[in-house]
Amino acid sequence: MAYLFTSESVSEGHPDKVADQISDALIDNFLAFDPESKVACETLVTTGQVILAGEVKSNTYLDVQSIARDVIKKIGYTKSEYMFEANSCGVLSAIHEQSADINQGVDRASKEEQGAGDQGMMFGYATNETENYMPLALDLSHALLIELANLRRENSEITYLRPDAKSQVTLEYSDDNKPQRIDAIVISTQHDDFADEATMLAKIKSDLISILIPRIKVKYPQYAHLFNDDITYHINPTGKFVIGGPHGDTGLTGRKIIVDTYGGKGAHGGGAFSGKDPSKVDRSAAYATRHIAKNLVAAGLCDEVLVQVSYAIGVAKPTSINVNTYGTAKVNLTDGEISNVVETIFDMRPYFIEQRLKLRNPIYSETAAYGHMGRTPETVTKIFKSPNGDDKTVTVELFTWEKLDYVDKVKAAFNI
């Protein structure tokens, strides 16, 4: 019997994502000037106010207020009527020194024996139902909001959009787990005030269906066949959405962990990513397990896979590594046997994850909206400004965990 599956996404202007982006901008600035920085930064945003809190061990000093304001400005909160504006909001910092008790469990005389920054379990997932090995419903949910943000910044075809938005896509799957069609699309977008609410709602719905959806079909032709005349559209279903962003809802770092990962497919260990340096395995091991999962599926080992790893705080070697192929494995091995082989290919000690994926670089701001997984690896040059006005130019690789650089090693190990 066919079934439905749903995933959601939120825009860069969503209050929780504003918080994530500020936290990750702080991470990038710390790592740009001191790659060995240990950072755990949380951000809270609300009406006219940003509060920064967390623990840091670093040899650099940052103008955290300026960094936060630059992020808010880039997102698009630049008008006073939003009640949260880059130049006028208050920025309060309560960042302090990292606990020595935690640090002694991470730093070691031998870097190779660096301990995990926390206990816990992390998951990586991949499926061959999309070209980027991501769940389709989440991929489409992200795409809708990325294109909606493009329309907002162009300010030509649609001129009333504000930064806050959410999307949701429901797909119909066949009995053999193949996506057949889009059943429903939900989009709630913040907008300027209209004199006539009924006219406003009708115009927004008409614009998104006639302008946004065709752009998605052109930009993502591989998904065009899933769109149909029977899709149920819920566009701003509550009606008016003028009050939004941090004024409409308080935002916190790390509150959109399912949006950040696989949209409800696979599993999640519960740890957030943004605001954490890579010694925190919540982040680095989640990236490493995604890297494993994607390379396993791309190598043809299986159609779908979930990889779990777990750690004890202060201990380098994982307490477990588990691979679940959901019965889709193409080799004559059990999932337990596959797990044992995977452990010989990928060293999951924290230091080796950091080195393999180049995680001690300022690469995190780009992860903080529209998902940490399924993105396109690329090399970019960034410029960071210190409080004394000096510029530092850094060339880095983004989304290294999305590279298919272990496919040949996987094929060799499994004789594929």
d(CA 130, CA 392): 38
CB 338 within 8 A of CB 148: no
Q: Is the pLDDT of residue 103 over 70?
A: no
Asked if residue 300 lies in contact with residue 411, where contact means CB atoms within 8 angstroms, the answer is yes
Domain boundaries, the chain: 3-10+136-244, 15-99, 120-128+256-414
Residue 390: the pLDDT is: 82
Model confidence at 307: pLDDT above 90 = yes
Query: Region 215-225: what's the mean pLDDT?
Result: 96
% of the chain beyond a pLDDT of 70: 97
CATH class of 15-99: alpha beta
pLDDT range class, residue 414, cuts 50, 70, 90: very high
Residue 97: C-alpha distances to residues 38, 52, 67, 118, 263 (Å): 10, 13, 19, 17, 35
Check for a shared fold between 3-10+136-244 and 15-99: yes
pLDDT digits (tens, 9 = 90+) for 128-172: 999 999 999 999 999 999 999 999 999 999 999 999 999 999 999
Q: Which residue type does 352 have?
A: F
Q: Flag whether pLDDT at 100 surpasses 80.
A: no
CATH number corresponding to 120-128+256-414 = 3.30.300.10
Instruction: Give the residue with greater pLDDT, 157 vs 110.
Output: 157
Q: Are 93 and 65 in contact (CB under 8 A)?
A: yes
Q: CA 200, CA 193: separation in Å to the nearest integer? A: 8
* DSSP conformation class of 88: T
Residue 315 in this model has a pLDDT that exceeds 70: yes
Q: What pLDDT sits at residue 44? A: 98
Average pLDDT over every residue of 73-101: 92
| Alpha-carbon separation of residue 353 from 116, 193, 283, 285, 316 (angstroms) | 11, 49, 11, 7, 11
CA distance 198 to 44: 34
Q: How far is CA 127 from CA 36, 257, 265, 351, in A?
A: 34, 19, 10, 28
Is 280 annotated to bind a ligand? Reply is yes
Q: Tokens 């493009």 sit at which residue?
A: 150
272 is in an annotated binding site: yes
> Residue 382 pLDDT more than 90?
yes
> What is the arithmetic mean of pLDDT over 26-30?
97
Region for residue 225 given its phi and psi (left: phi exceeds 0; alpha: psi -120 to 50; beta: otherwise): alpha
42 annotated among ligand-binding-site residues: yes
Do the annotations mark residue 98 as ligand-binding?
yes
Flag whether 165 is marked binding.
Answer: yes
The annotation status of 65 as a binding-site residue, yes or no, is no
pLDDT at residue 306 tops 70: yes
Taking the C-alpha atoms of residue 318 and residue 285, their distance in angstroms, rounded to an integer, is 10
391 has binding-site annotation? no
pLDDT reported for residue 113: 72
Asked if residue 55 belongs to a known ligand binding site, the reply is yes
Would the pLDDT of 339 be above 90? Answer: yes
Bigger pLDDT: 389 vs 58? 58
With respect to CATH, is domain 3-10+136-244 assigned 3.40.50.720?
no
- The token duo for 89 is 């909001």
Closest CA to 301 of 214, 227, 411, 173: 411
pLDDT, one tens digit per residue, over 266-280 is 999 999 999 999 999
- Greater model confidence, 101 or 237: 237
CA-based nearest residue to 365, from 166, 117, 74: 74
Q: How large is the average pLDDT for residues 305-330?
A: 97
- Residue 164 assigned as binding residue: yes
pLDDT at residue 104 is higher than 80:
no
Structure tokens, 303: 């159609």
Mean pLDDT on 9-35: 98
Q: What percent of the chain has pLDDT over 90?
A: 91
**Cβ–Cβ < 8 Å for 120, 271:** yes
Q: What confidence score (pLDDT) does residue 111 get?
A: 72
Strand runs labelled E in 249-356: 251-252, 304-311, 320-324
- Annotated ligand binding at 335? The verdict is no
